[in-house]
Amino acid sequence: MSQIKFYQGENVPLEMHKVRIVQKLNLIPVEERLQAMGEAGNNTFLLRNRDVFLDMLTDSGVNAMSDKQMAAMMQADDSYAGSETFYRLEAKMQEIFGKDIFLPAHQGRACENIISRAFVKPGSVVPMNYHFTTTKSHITLNGGRVEEIFIDEALKITSDHPFKGNVDIDKLVALIEKEGAGNIPFVRMEAGTNLIGGQPFSMENLQQVREVCDKYGIMLVLDASLLADNLYFIKIREESCLDKSIREITREMSDLCDIIYFSARKLGCARGGGICTSRADLADEMRELVPLFEGFLTYGGMSVREMEAMTVGLDETMDMEMIDQGPQFIEFMVEELQKKGIPVVTPAGGLGCHVDAMEFVDHIPQEQYPAGALAAAIYIVSGVRGMERGTMSEQRDDDGNETISNMELVRLALPRRVFTLSQVKYAVDRIVWLYENRRLIGGLSFVEEPKVLRFFFGKLAPVSDWQTKLVAKFREDFGDSL
Ligand code: F0G
């Protein structure tokens, strides 16, 4: 099933691009990393990039651009209204998705703001394969509720299910029957389901969701931010799509959805976002929110240069040799970690490699944020910056109780075409050392805790002096090395 290209009998992915611009990296000594982590309140979001060696926080807005994208940026047409750049982008959207209306927005969550304001009312229920942090916040902000109707396999860390991002169709039908179709403004499908490890859904599942939506007269919305990875997996894992081109698969998916929105910080390797639909009635509900929150209808808060890069980037996304690099590097990293017994989410998904903190540090209770603690420990021992995706990323309920997450993951994102394989190997090597010394890792507790999206800027402290002990062990084993 794996599409990894073979090289001298080794399972090594082969890049179909060369590097023409580079940026110097900096690896500060472990003692300075410990200090930097402390100053950042043990929250990897608050680290300064100068203190980070390999930035695996996210794939958002940090993918490498192509020479053609950079070249296109030079021909951007600066104009508040009616920019030719917009018309080029709109035409590319129409060509790829076959939807004639395109509403620009400055990034993915801006699209979520517009869609939620337009369609979510107090008491609304929005079923989805899995929530994303900003999606859930916007739906709740507008008085709605998110209901996740994933398949049982979705939350299994170790699995060989090719489409863990699928919706459980029976649960979807039962939910609609219970809540009433009138209270459900739309069903949301997230491509490359972010919070469960970048796991895809299948074309067949999307078709089944569409059938249910048709039966009950409910609209279907696709979050296409991680579409590139999902397309790759459908192409290699789904029997009925093996012979279809990426363009054909994209079009088939698009035809099943009423609205497609995306973060172009991921899809298209630029920075921006947008909403596509061919339904004029839906566009009418959303259009006036664009100038109100984003900018005029022909730029939506984006720089025209980024829009040009996005047009070319989206076109390049329709090329299997471009979109296979991310998932193949991730598969390599997952397999290398697995060989050493490190608990990781399988099968390897898109976006990044996901380490299972629940097992890695099974001695840390979820109230002490095991994934947050592991992300801090990984940074200290390697300079690699990952992201907590667990209880810290949840929000307390109205009574102030913790919302315990289904999973405790540390995501090590592999932005597309950015890192080399030796850098991936370095990260693996340090994580393996940390695993051998995992009993040294302790929990964290909040010292500053924002009410909304606390994982972004909350500050935490270690519950004991475990970080100092970890650094001492590092020095013992690594000598003078950084
Ligand atoms: N939907 C999904 C599936 C996402 O992964 C993201 C962003 C958004 C919407 C929001 O888009 O950042 O452009 O506003 N994910 C980033 C991440 C932040 O690191 O996974 P945005």
Is 99 catalytic? The answer is no
In this structure, the residues whose C-beta lies within 6 A of any atom of ligand 1 are: 58, 60, 107-109, 132, 134, 190, 194, 223, 225-226, 263, 265, 273
Q: In DSSP terms, which residues pair with 261 in a beta bridge?
A: 223, 275
Residue 5's φ and ψ, nearest 5 degrees, are -80, 140
445 C-alpha to ligand 1 centroid (Å): 26
Give yes or no for a contact between 206 and 256, defined as CB atoms under 8 angstroms apart: yes
DSSP structure string for 78-125: --SSS-HHHHHHHHHHHHHH--SEEEEESSHHHHHHHHHHHH--TT-E
Instruction: Return the amino acid letter for 91.
Output: A
Give yes or no for a contact between 147 and 175, defined as CB atoms under 8 angstroms apart: yes
pLDDT confidence of residue 402: 94
105 C-alpha to ligand 1 centroid (Å): 13
Domain 67-321 in this protein, CATH class: alpha beta
Residue ranges of alpha helices (H) inside 275-324 are 280-287, 289-293, 304-316, 320-323
Give yes or no for a contact between 354 and 229, defined as CB atoms under 8 angstroms apart: no
Nearest C-alpha neighbor of 258 from the set 90, 149, 119: 119
pLDDT confidence of residue 5: 64
- The model's pTM is 0.96
The tokens describing 137, both together, are 């916040």
Give yes or no for a contact between 268 and 310, defined as CB atoms under 8 angstroms apart: yes
Is 80 catalytic? The answer is yes
Ligand 1, atom 11: nearest CA belongs to which residue?
Answer: 108
- The number of beta carbons lying within 10 Å of the beta carbon of residue 18 is 6
pLDDT confidence of residue 4: 59
In a mutational test of the pocket of ligand 1, which residue from 263, 294, 353 has the highest number of ligand atoms less than 8 Å from its CB?
A: 263
Give yes or no for a contact between 128 and 147, defined as CB atoms under 8 angstroms apart: yes
Is 266 catalytic? The answer is yes
Give yes or no for a contact between 272 and 111, defined as CB atoms under 8 angstroms apart: no
Thinking of the domain 2-59+323-478, which architecture would CATH place it in?
A: Alpha-Beta Complex (3.90)
pLDDT in tens, the chain (482 residues): 445 566 666 778 989 999 999 999 999 999 999 999 999 999 999 999 999 999 999 999 999 999 999 999 999 999 999 999 999 999 999 999 999 999 999 999 999 999 999 999 999 999 999 999 999 999 999 999 999 999 999 999 999 999 999 999 999 999 999 999 999 999 999 999 999 999 999 999 999 999 999 999 999 999 999 999 999 999 999 999 999 999 999 999 999 999 999 999 999 999 999 999 999 999 999 999 999 999 999 999 999 999 999 999 999 999 999 999 999 999 999 999 999 999 999 999 999 999 999 999 999 999 999 999 999 999 999 999 999 999 999 989 889 999 999 999 999 999 999 999 999 999 999 999 999 999 999 999 999 999 888 999 999 999 999 999 999 999 999 998 88
Give yes or no for a contact between 13 and 329, defined as CB atoms under 8 angstroms apart: yes
pLDDT confidence of residue 1: 42
d(CA 66, CA 48): 26
The tokens describing 251, both together, are 């079009």
In a mutational test of the pocket of ligand 1, which residue from 137, 146, 194, 388 has the highest number of ligand atoms less than 8 Å from its CB?
A: 194
d(CA 178, CA 181): 9
In the chain, what are the domain boundaries?
2-59+323-478, 67-321
Question: Cα 402 to chain center, whole Å?
Answer: 23
Nearest C-alpha neighbor of 198 from the set 112, 327, 319: 327
- The number of beta carbons lying within 10 Å of the beta carbon of residue 426 is 18
SS3 263: strand
